[in-house]
Amino acid sequence: MTKFVQGSELNATLEKIIKKAESSLVLVSPYIRLHSRVKDELKPKKNFPELKIVIVYGKSENGNRLAKDDLEFLKAFPNIQIRYEKNLHAKYYGNESAGLITSMNLYDFSQNNNIEVGVLTETTNRIISSLSSFVGTGDLDSDAYNYFQDVILNSELLYQRIPHFESKMFGLSQAFDKATIEKDIIDQYHNIVDERFVGFKSFEKNTNFSLPIQKQGNVGFCIRTGVEIPFDIRKPYCDKAYSSWAKWSNPDYSEKFCHFTGELADGATCYAAPILRKNWREAKRLHQL
């Protein structure tokens, strides 16, 4: 079954997919900042270690960084993988019986403000659907599910926590024992400035370049107009520029100035990455980012 969804129904569909997940939950989104409603649906899943959760992201507010509170929230799940795919632009949310192909990021602003649409796909048996797909008679749900399984396999695993169970009743049943962290390199990704991080735009090196003198205090610059504003990487626009940007709310839309120095950026900054890559280390030091 397929169904076109939009508006509040789209948000409700996402929440339903999370709520009904029993063995598998896949959340694929370039940008991730968890809405409170999404967190509310996810929280009970901490008590179900048999549910495998896979998160794949590619960008976020500040280069390759998940918000600290969201990261700590996700790390607490007993059976979870957090993965990174630098070329990710697609959005997909699915469980063992349904999938949502959508324009909407797993991002609170998108869920509250943007015009977003999606296609819900459902199946009664993914195994049978996958076999049908193999012989050329598959459906949209299995095609989408299989495609995003490939995306997951080709992404880079940054964090993994797996559950361990102990046998009960002479091996007839299992009880959850504990969860252990098998891999955790996500902080390394967040701290290293690297061209793998999509949020930082590439630039041509200039051997004569010297960092402009940064004014004292909490001074930043609007990335669209260049006027002085308070430094805040979550609010890199002046009020007038923000009103213009918010009409479309495209976090990748190229802007003109660096939020940290005010220098011309020639399209190398955007809402998602408001600081020029070459200035990031100094901005991080001065503003304790």
CATH number for the domain harbouring residue 159: 3.30.870.10
Beta-carbon-side half-sphere exposure of residue 11 (alpha carbons within 13 Å): 17
Find the mean pLDDT for residues 81-104: 93
Say if 62 falls within a structural domain: yes
Q: Are residues 123 and 170 in the same domain?
A: yes
Q: Are residues 168 and 277 in the same domain?
A: no
Q: Where are the alpha helices (DSSP H) in the chain?
A: 7-20, 36-42, 68-75, 108-113, 126-134, 140-154, 186-191, 239-245, 280-287
At 108, is the pLDDT very low, low, confident or very high (cuts 50, 70, 90)?
confident
Q: Are residues 273 and 172 in the same domain?
A: no
Residue 64 has pLDDT above 60, yes or no: no
Comparing 140 with 239, the larger pLDDT belongs to 239
What is the per-residue pLDDT for 59? 65
Say if 16 falls within a structural domain: yes
Q: Are residues 102 and 230 in the same domain?
A: no
What is the per-residue pLDDT for 238? 94
Q: Are residues 150 and 64 in the same domain?
A: yes
Q: Are residues 127 and 47 in the same domain?
A: yes
Find the mean pLDDT for residues 154-179: 85
Phi-psi region of 264 (alpha: psi -120 to 50; beta: other; left: phi over 0): beta
| 223-261 residue pLDDT tens | 999 999 999 998 999 999 998 898 888 888 889 999 999
Domain count, the chain: 2
Number of Cβ within a 10 Å radius of residue 124: 9
What is the per-residue pLDDT for 237? 94
> Domain range holding 146?
2-191
Residue 136 has pLDDT above 60, yes or no: no
Say if 203 falls within a structural domain: no
What is the per-residue pLDDT for 268? 87
Q: Are residues 145 and 237 in the same domain?
A: no
Say if 20 falls within a structural domain: yes
| pLDDT > 90 in the chain, percent | 47
At 191, is the pLDDT very low, low, confident or very high (cuts 50, 70, 90)?
low
Lowest mean pLDDT among 4-13, 35-44, 87-96, 213-222: 213-222
Residue 133 has pLDDT above 50, yes or no: no
Say if 206 falls within a structural domain: no
Residue 38 has pLDDT above 60, yes or no: yes
At 181, is the pLDDT very low, low, confident or very high (cuts 50, 70, 90)?
very high
Say if 207 falls within a structural domain: no
Q: Are residues 33 and 84 in the same domain?
A: yes
Give the H/E segment covering residue 4.
strand 2-6
Q: Are residues 277 and 150 in the same domain?
A: no
Give the 3-state secondary structure of residue 176. Answer: strand
Q: Are residues 93 and 32 in the same domain?
A: yes
Burial class (CB in 10 A: 0-12, 13-18, 19+), 166: exposed
Q: Are residues 236 and 153 in the same domain?
A: no
Q: Are residues 153 and 104 in the same domain?
A: yes
What is the per-residue pLDDT for 287? 83
Say if 210 falls within a structural domain: no
Say if 161 falls within a structural domain: yes
| Integer CA distances (angstroms), 199 to 61, 240, 277, in order | 8, 24, 9
Q: What's the chain's average pLDDT?
A: 82
| Integer CA distances (angstroms), 136 to 71, 75, 96, 265, 266, in order | 40, 39, 21, 49, 47
